[in-house]
């Protein structure tokens, strides 16, 4: 795949542009005061300096090549996280004396730089080939140590820490130790702390599914009963009672024993129950003006099921044709008859109006 060139009048790629900026800034840093100050402090005699690593006095040049370097103790480009933006790069490049040291060529090239480059290659390998495991490790460290990280207030802000073996900032060993202890992240799982108040370490962590992890949060409802302690969902599964039912009972003041021991009232299962003949009966009776309640009684089901299927079929109960409006005397009689126990359907048939009209009369909408 050809790399797009979007910089310098579309003649440079993004990688070449970054390399150019880096090298330009590094050249400019040679005039940075703390760098010259550290180099002066390492001066021993004319043309010779003390290496901070091997403690040897070395010449400024060796075989015509530069032999003394001022290096950063903390790499300008992070070995674990890579390039983190120009603001971070510039801040680390133009640092104070405390983060600078003088090294000889052997220590600088063959030791420090070599180790850092090897760490970068390993981290890049994990980032590219085991992205989910690597991102889990990075996010775990960030939410425990970076106050600007999303969710820090629930982790680092509450004192949750990452163990020394897994902590980010100890080079590539952190991610390697994490994988050695936990293995690679299985599909459809996330990192879960068994004790959600504990730290991140081998004995307190596991790979868990979303369902398993959802049960292990500080917002779960733990219920102690019969010498056992389980969350609400586990009691519900074991007893065959809906979790919402148990929770509602407890909120109404039921004791734990009553809420857990009383059997749940199961509603009838209406799915797939009706035959083609049942549907034909629903439609024909509805078109005759029979109420949904009466149809439900014949089919031994709930009127809501009849209504749902009729709506799906697009069948509506016909509205009777009325020859005259209800008089005031009719409305008064309807109210009296209803109080005596006459059904709304019978009243609608007697006065040749729709059932809804009877209900509207009873509600006082007509005077």
Interval 140-157: pLDDT, tens: 998 998 888 878 888 898
What residue spans define the domains of the chain?
A: 32-129, 131-214, 222-261, 276-313, 328-362
Q: 307 near 292, Cβ under 8 Å?
A: yes
d(CA 120, CA 112): 12
Q: Give every residue of the chain whose pLDDT is below 50, as ranges.
A: 269-271, 321-324
Q: 66 near 126, Cβ under 8 Å?
A: no
pLDDT in the model for residue 273? 67
Interval 317-363: pLDDT, tens: 665 544 447 888 888 888 888 888 888 888 888 888 888 888 888 88
Q: Please spell the DSSP secondary structure of 228-266, one letter per residue.
A: EEEEHHHHHHHHT--HHHHHHHHHTT--HHHHHHSPP-P
Strand positions, DSSP E, 127-220: 190-193, 205-208
């Amino acid at each position: 795949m050809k790399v797009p060139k979007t910089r310098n009048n579309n003649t440079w790629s993004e990688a070449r542009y970054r390399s150019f900026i880096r090298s330009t800034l590094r050249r400019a840093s040679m005039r940075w005061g703390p760098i010259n100050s550290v180099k002066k402090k390492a001066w021993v005699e004319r043309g010779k300096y003390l290496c901070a690593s091997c403690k040897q006095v070395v010449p400024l040049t060796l075989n015509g090549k530069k032999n003394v370097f001022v290096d950063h103790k903390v790499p300008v480009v992070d070995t674990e996280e890579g390039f983190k933006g120009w603001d971070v790069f510039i801040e680390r490049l133009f640092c104070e004396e405390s983060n600078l040291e003088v090294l000889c060529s052997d220590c600088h090239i063959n030791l420090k730089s070599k180790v850092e480059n090897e760490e970068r290659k390993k981290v890049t390998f994990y980032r590219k080939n085991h992205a989910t495991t690597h991102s889990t490790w990075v996010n775990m460290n960030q939410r425990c140590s970076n106050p600007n990280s999303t969710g820090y207030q629930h982790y680092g802000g509450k004192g949750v820490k990452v163990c020394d073996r897994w902590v980010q900032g100890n080079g590539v060993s952190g991610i390697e130790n994490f994988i050695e202890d936990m293995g690679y992240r299985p599909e459809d799982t996330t990192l879960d702390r068994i004790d959600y108040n504990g730290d991140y370490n081998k004995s307190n962590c596991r790979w868990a599914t979303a369902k398993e992890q959802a049960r292990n949060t500080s917002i779960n409802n733990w219920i102690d009963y019969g010498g056992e302690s389980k969350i609400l969902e586990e009691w519900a599964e074991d007893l065959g009672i809906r979790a919402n039912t148990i929770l509602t009972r407890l909120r109404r003041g039921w004791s734990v024993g009553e809420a857990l021991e009383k059997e749940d009232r199961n509603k009838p299962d209406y799915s797939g129950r009706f035959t083609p003949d049942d549907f034909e009966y629903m439609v024909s009776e509805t078109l005759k003006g029979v109420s949904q309640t009466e149809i439900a009684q014949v089919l031994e089901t709930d009127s809501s099921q009849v209504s749902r299927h009729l709506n799906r079929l697009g069948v509506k109960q016909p509205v009777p044709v009325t020859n005259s409006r209800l008089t005031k005397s009719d409305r008064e009689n309807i109210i009296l008859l209803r109080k005596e126990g006459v059904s709304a359907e019978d009243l609608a048939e007697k006065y040749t109006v729709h059932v809804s009209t009877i209900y509207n009369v009873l509600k006082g909408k007509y005077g």
